[in-house]
Structure 1
C-alpha cells in the first residue's frame, strides 16, 4: 500500500488517503506451541483518545511473546480470542489524535504497544499510546529499530534507573548476549561501571566489543569461582538453568543488589536474598517514550548499537518463535511486516 504526503499546499486542504478496513495479522486462537500462530485477515484497529495509528514496517520478537503464546506470560490478561501478540514495532504514523500532535502522519516512529490491552504488532497496523513512542533513530532501518524498544527499555530501567550504574561499580550481567543483555552491557559500560558478562564461547569476543571488562564462558567456568564480589547482579536467567539465580548470591557483596528480570524464573528470590543480607527487586519494563527517545539518541550517536540476529517475514512468525525458544539468540529476532 502506498502512502502519499498529507501536507496540504498553502490554502488547499488535501484529505489524507483512506485507510483500509482490514489488514493481515498473525493471530492465536488459544494458547499452544509455535504452530498455534497463524495468519488471518482482521479489522484495522481504531485509535481513541491520545492513541496514534501506526503502519507497522517491522515487529520485534521477545521471550514474553513466546511465554504468552504458551499460556504463561500475560496470557491471563487476554480477554478475547483470537489474539494478536507483539509489543515492539517500528513504522509510520498514519493517523494522529489532532493536527498539532508531536507525531503527525508520516512520522517514522518506534515503540511499544500495551498488548494484550490492545492488539499487538504482529500485524500491518497497531494503535499505540502517544507516550509509548519516539521518533525512529535516523541511523537505523525499521528492522533494526523494531529490535530496540522492549529490550532496551528493560535494560535502561534495570541498569540506569534501578542499579544506578556509575564509575567504580561492579555489575555482573547474566545472558549478556541476549536481547536485554546486549543493551544492559552497553548501558552499564557507557555509565562507567566495570561490567562482567556471562555468555557462550561464540559470544565472548562480541561481549568485550560491547564493553564487558570481563567475560565468563558459562560452558566451562562457574562464574562464582572466577568473579570477585560485585555490587549488582542483573539476572536475566533465574533458576531455570543450573541455579544461576541462587549461585549469583555467592558473588554479591553484603548489601549488594540482585535484580531479577525473568517472570516466574525464581519465585523465591526475595527470601533467598534477604537471608544473605542482600537487597533484591524484580523489574517490569515501562514503555516510556521519553526514555526511548534518549536511547534513540545514543543509537544515533553510535554509543550504543542494536544487533538483529534473524529476520523473518510476518507469515513466518511460528518459525521465529521456534528460533527464539532455542535460547541461543544473539541480540534480537525481528519480523518484517511490510515495505518501508
Structure 2
C-alpha cells in the first residue's frame, strides 16, 4: 500500500509502498478515505523517543482518520466490515492514517454519522475534540464567564471560540490573533479580537475588563504565553495550558489571586484505561453533534494528495502552514 512513512534515523518523511498491516485481536483495519494532518504528526521528530526502538522506517503518522472497516480482529464485537468510522489515533502506535490502510483499537472508535461530511470528520478530532474537552469539560465555561483564548485563529482556537459562544453561552470572549486574522476570528464569535501585532495584549485585557481580568483563559500556543494567560486572570481565575507544563512560580500573585490551573493532552487519554478512553469518546460525540447541528463549523480546509501531505508535514516544521490540511484518497 502507499503510505507516508517517517524514518527516525534521518528525521524525514517518504512516500513508499509498504505491506498492508493486519489488525490485532482488539483492533480493526480501516481503508482510509481521509486523514487530517496536525502539528503533532510533523513533530514526531520531537516525540519519537516516547516510542523508542519500536519505531522503524515503516512508521506511519496521521491521527485523525476517516474510513471504512475492511478487517476486524478476532475479539472485536459490535463492529462490522463496511462500517464507516472515524477516530483520534494513538501517536505511540504504528499504522497511522497517512496511508491507504490504518489500524486502530476499537475502544476509541466512533461511528461516522451520514450527516457529518467527510472533511469535517477528518478535520475535527485532534483540534476540535481538544477544544471541546478544554472549554466544556475542564474549564466548564458558562454564561458568567469572560474568556481569553490565545491563538483564536488556529485549529484548536477556532473551534474553542465557537464552542464557548454557541455551546456554553460565554458572556464575553477575548481572542488573541494577528491583525490579518482579526475579521476571521470575529466571524467565529469572538466579542473582541486582540491583535498581538498591534497592541500590548495584557494591557488590552485589563482595559476591556476594567482592570479586573478575565475569569478563565486558554493558551493554545505555548512558548511563554502561559505567563500571559495566567497574568490576565482575575481573582479565582482558571487557566488551561495546552502545550507545556504550567509554571506557577513564573506567574504574578498566584496565591493571593486564588488561581487554578489545568493541563490537557487529548492523546494521553489513550493510556489511561476506561476513564481516559471515555474522555475521548465523550468529546468526539459532543463536537460531532455540534457540527451536525450547525452550531460549530470546521475551519478553512485544504485537501492534498500523498505528495502534498509530505509537503504539509515539512511546512508545519517550518511554521509555514495556515489553516487545516486534509489528505484525501479517491
For the aligned pair, the TM-score class normalised by the smaller chain equals 0.7 to 0.9
Aligned equivalent of 2:169? 192
For the structure 1 residues 101 and 46, does the alpha-carbon distance in structure 2 shift closer, same or farther, using more than 3 Å as the test? Answer: same
Aligned equivalent of 1:60? 36
Equivalent residue runs for 1:221-260 within 5 Å: 221-227=199-205, 228=209, 229-239=213-223, 243-260=224-241
CA distance in structure 2 between the partners assigned to 1:273 and 1:25 by the alignment: 45
Q: TM-score, normalised by structure 1?
A: 0.82
Per-residue Cα deviation, 1:153-205 (whole angstroms, up to 9, x for no partner): 11111111100011111111111111111111111112111221111223222
Q: TM-score, normalised by structure 2?
A: 0.85
Equivalent residue runs for 1:116-155 within 5 Å: 116-155=92-131
The offset of 1:313, in angstroms, is 0.8
Per-residue Cα deviation, 1:64-92 (whole angstroms, up to 9, x for no partner): 11221x2x135432423112111111111
Aligned equivalent of 1:95? 71
Work out which of the residue numbers 132, 136, 142 in structure 2 matches 1:156: 132
Equivalent residue runs for 1:167-178 within 5 Å: 167-178=143-154
CA distance in structure 2 between the partners assigned to 1:92 and 1:251 by the alignment: 46
Work out which of the residue numbers 189, 212, 225 in structure 2 matches 1:211: 189
Q: Structure 2: which 5+ runs fail to align?
A: 270-276
CA distance in structure 2 between the partners assigned to 1:61 and 1:75 by the alignment: 21
Aligned equivalent of 1:269? 247
Give the root-mean-square deviation of aligned CA atoms: 2.3
Per-residue Cα deviation, 1:75-114 (whole angstroms, up to 9, x for no partner): 4324231121111111111123479944322222111221
Is it true that 1:201 corresponds to 2:179 in the alignment? Answer: yes
Q: Structure 1: which 5+ runs fail to align?
A: 1-22
CA distance in structure 2 between the partners assigned to 1:73 and 1:289 by the alignment: 24
The offset of 1:275, in angstroms, is 5.3
The DSSP-based 3-state class of the residue aligned with 1:334 is strand
For the structure 1 residues 80 and 100, does the alpha-carbon distance in structure 2 shift closer, same or farther, using more than 3 Å as the test? Answer: closer
- Work out whether residues 111 and 149 of structure 1, in 8 Å CA contact, stay in contact via their aligned partners in 2: yes
Work out which of the residue numbers 250, 256, 262 in structure 2 matches 1:281: 262
- Work out whether residues 26 and 314 of structure 1, in 8 Å CA contact, stay in contact via their aligned partners in 2: yes
Aligned equivalent of 2:299? 307
